[in-house]
A and B are shown apart, each in its own frame.
Chain A
Amino acid sequence: MDLNYSPEDDAFRQQVRDFLAANLPPDLRRKVRGHLRLGKDDYVRWHRIVAAQGWAAPGWPVEYGGTGWNAVQRHIWDEECALAGAPPILPFGVNMVAPVIMAFGSAAQKAHFLPRILHCDDWWCQGYSEPGAGSDLASLATTAVRDGGHYVVNGQKTWTTLAQHADMIFCLVRTDPAARKQDGISFLLIDMKSPGITVRPIVMLDEEHEVNEVFFDNVRVPVENLVGKENQGWTYAKFLLGHERTGIAAVGRSKRELRFLKALALRQQLGGRPLLDDPVFAAKIAQVEIELMALEVTVLRTIAQEDRAPGPQASLLKIKGTEVQQALAELMVEAAGPAALPFDSALLEGRHGIAHDSADEMQAAPLAAYYFNYRKTSIYGGSNEIQKNIIARMILGL
């Protein structure tokens, strides 16, 4: 047992830090660290900077443009990016649809889509959930009926993250209504510009437009856009769900937020002393910090077994990761106190709205919205209740 990073790992980390110091635009860093909202341009700009370096898809095989890094190096990369305040590389293209295309897609699909994903030429979104199919994803009802060289798609997807910007959507659709509900599903790649697609915004409780409803009305999709075999889509979806298993813990981001929280609690006063000196509040932060340490080591233990098949361990990381994130967001609001009450949407969007008297006020203003927004993390990507069901069934055999 040796729980230290190797000298090679340390050197790699330094290389990553140097890259970030030289290439992460300060305005993006400020937005991310300050809990402000990111626009399409922000994501695309950062993705292309990273792609120019050849690091946009560290997990891919080298032949497709991956980095050849091992799992520890990928972890270090994720962690340093998050610590530095880099915008995330959105997972829908790089981490979700791309591995499915690599594993099950046609040669033409690989040749066309993978380079475009790598360089963020297409913005992808994920069309799985439907109004009647959330946790029970296999009961999805959107149909795709074969008509010559096309599938004709009808139905509705919902909660589609950032679909308002999307060029492409990967969808689970029902191609055999007669089969058992998991068996009649196919995996389709659909151009968002196709006639018959309507995207309708859903405003979230923090008033952010982050998710959408997507309607399909006789949308014609070329059969070439079917991934793998017809009616095998559920297998591919499950493959995808187990694929990115360590990133979801978001340890790096939580470390950055922990620093932010401590800095905030150092500036906030309680009885003329820093709030961080208050034993009650300090104990709460300490508890989250310890939980985060435990999570980090658990992630590293998972990484160390990288050659084993992805498993239900991901559920543990998702539950703990989101619990830590939510606890940090909650403590930030608590630390800000009444200063977290004003809601300033102009500031959140990076415009100057209400005149804030001080930098402290500017920093406190987005925190409640951030706390509200982060209630999503225990719901999406398979709710935490569903993750517990998976642990109970797949790990504990109950």
Chain B
Amino acid sequence: MDFEPKEEQRQLADALRRWIERDYGFAARRDIIHSPAGESPEAWRMLVELGLTALPVPEAQGGFGGGAADMFFVMQELGRGLVAEPYFATVLGARVLQLAGGQEELLERVAAGEVKLACALGEAQSRHDLADIAAKVSGPVDAAAVSGVKTVVEGGGQADMLIVSARSHGGQRDRDGISLLLVDAGTSGLVIRDGRAIDGRRCAGVTFDHAPATLLGDPGTAWPVLEAATDWGAALLCAEAVGAMDALFGATLDYLKTRRQFGVPIGSFQALQHRMADMFIHLEQARSMAMLAAAKADSGDAEERRRVVSAARVRVGEAARFVGQQAVQLHGGMGITDELPAAHWFKRLTAIGLTLGDVDHHLRRFAGQPGFRVA
């Protein structure tokens, strides 16, 4: 077993970290997330140049054919650096395209950084259940259209193409009858309401009204692809959360060593030492599970994948909550200021906890796997 990054993985992570330190520091990021566009073309160009958009794309489409384990080290750095560009939305979309098949040309353009994607999967009533879909597919296979309202679409206002889940047949929460479709963001029948999310990223509400769409795969059969792709994405979010927690933990530890009250560094108070020790234990347990999830997220064994990804989301989610809240608390008044990076890692961790399934959702799914009942 080897938990260390391979040489290429390390080099890529180092290059990414150097760029973030040089060009995507806290002040630069603040300007970007408060700008009207909410994203930076230069930052995107750099992510492309570093090869990040090509990383998860198969070699046949001009990518590097990287797996979730390769993505682990990238996502960790993006979490550490709080990079708010719509990268995750794009690679999650690329994962859908790859698993669904038939969009090789588009994947090539994604790898080249020419196209941004977003996944419009959630609806107002669905919360964390991505099979709860009211949006509908209409029209024949070669001239499909989609209608419905999708909420909280990360990067929805920045994307060139949207991947939409909609129902071809079946009841609202059936897994049978779900289709995935590709919609051009510039097409008719589409209204996108772009806004800022609580973590500084962009998210949109998107209304589809007979929007022309291309079916990905056979109508009504998309659930396994949707589930596998979002599990892969959920594993990536675990890696990002670990990067953010790692940085937040480090910043808090530094603060405990430098902030003085009652004539001593506050880190000399045993109550705070034990709190830090608990944060450390949370972080290490989370790191282990995030690694395991990355190792299994591409797995062909769907039950094993579900089990491990859900376990990781639970463990990482609990750690993120504890580490995030305590980091704010230990910073005292400083912890509640927007000018301190700590607050932003906390906000990003909170947002990750609400994306692609919260702790309870994954606890339920973990306990619901057939293998769970084998005594």
Contacts and interface: CB of A to CB of B under 8 A. Distances in A.
Interface stretch (A25-33, A63-71, A107-115, A201-209): A201-209
A280 B335 contact: no
Contact of B203 (A203, A342, A373, A378): A342
Nearest to A355: B193
Contacts of A361: 124, 151
A280 B197 contact: no
B127 A354 contact: no
B332 A369 contact: no
Nearest to A344: B195
Contacts of A360: 124
Given A204-B337, A375-B325, A383 B350 contact: no
B342 to A, nearest CB: 9
Contacts of A330: 321
A40 interface: no
A355 B195 CA distance: 10
Contacts of B339: 202-203
A62 interface: no
B346 interface: yes
B275 to A, nearest CB: 9
Interface string A338-379: 111111100000000011011011000000110111011011
B347 interface: yes
Contacts of A281: 360
Interface stretch (B63-71, B214-222, B235-243, B351-359): B351-359
A365 to B, nearest CB: 10
Interface in A143-171: 158-159
Contacts of A384: 329
A380 B333 contact: yes
A7 interface: no
A339 B152 contact: yes
A360 B124 CA distance: 9
Contacts of B122: 338
Contact of A338 (B127, B263, B271, B321): B127
Interface residues of B, number: 51
A189 B337 CA distance: 27
* Dominant secondary structure at the B interface: mixed
A385 interface: yes
Contacts of A341: 152, 197-199, 203, 351, 354-355
Contacts, number: 136
A269 B127 contact: yes
B337 A203 contact: yes
Nearest to B201: A341
B198 A369 contact: yes
A372 B347 contact: yes
A388 interface: yes
B332 A342 contact: no
B363 interface: yes
Contacts of A340: 198, 354
B173 A272 contact: yes
A375 B328 contact: yes
B152 to A, nearest CB: 4
A310 B276 CA distance: 33
Contacts of A373: 336
A139 B264 CA distance: 12
Contacts of A139: 261-263
B129 to A, nearest CB: 7
Contact of A343 (B197, B260, B261, B364): B197
Given A204-B338, A205-B338, A343-B197, A388 B203 contact: no
B205 interface: yes
B197 A342 contact: yes
Contacts of A338: 122, 127-128, 151-152, 354-355
Interface string B253-267: 000000011110010
B141 interface: no
Contact of B338 (A207, A270, A342, A380): A207
A388 B278 CA distance: 18
B355 A354 contact: no
B261 A135 contact: yes
A368 B198 contact: yes
B196 interface: yes
B338 A203 contact: yes
A132 B260 CA distance: 8
B316 interface: no
B254 to A, nearest CB: 17
A205 to B, nearest CB: 4
Taking each of A205, A207, A278, A378, which has the highest tally of chain B beta carbons within 10 Å of its own beta carbon?
A205
A360 B173 CA distance: 21
B125 interface: yes
B343 interface: yes
A343 B337 contact: no
Contacts of B82: none
Given A203-B338, A337-B358, A354-B193, A129 B333 contact: yes
Interface of B: 122, 124-125, 127-129, 132, 149, 151-152, 172-173, 193, 195-199, 203, 205, 260-263, 266, 269, 271-272, 321, 325, 328-329, 332-333, 335-339, 343-344, 346-347, 350-351, 354-355, 358, 360, 363-364
Q: Nearest 7 A-B pairs (CB), nearest first?
A: A205-B343, A337-B127, A136-B261, A203-B338, A368-B198, A338-B152, A343-B198
Interface of A: 129, 132, 134-136, 139, 158-159, 202-205, 207, 211, 268-272, 275, 278, 280-281, 330, 333-334, 337-344, 354-355, 357-358, 360-361, 368-369, 371-373, 375-376, 378-380, 383-385, 388-389
30 contacts: A132-B260, A134-B332, A135-B262, A135-B266, A135-B332, A205-B338, A205-B344, A269-B132, A333-B354, A337-B127, A338-B122, A338-B151, A338-B354, A340-B354, A341-B152, A341-B197, A342-B196, A342-B197, A368-B198, A368-B350, A371-B350, A372-B343, A372-B347, A372-B350, A375-B328, A379-B329, A379-B332, A379-B335, A385-B269, A389-B271
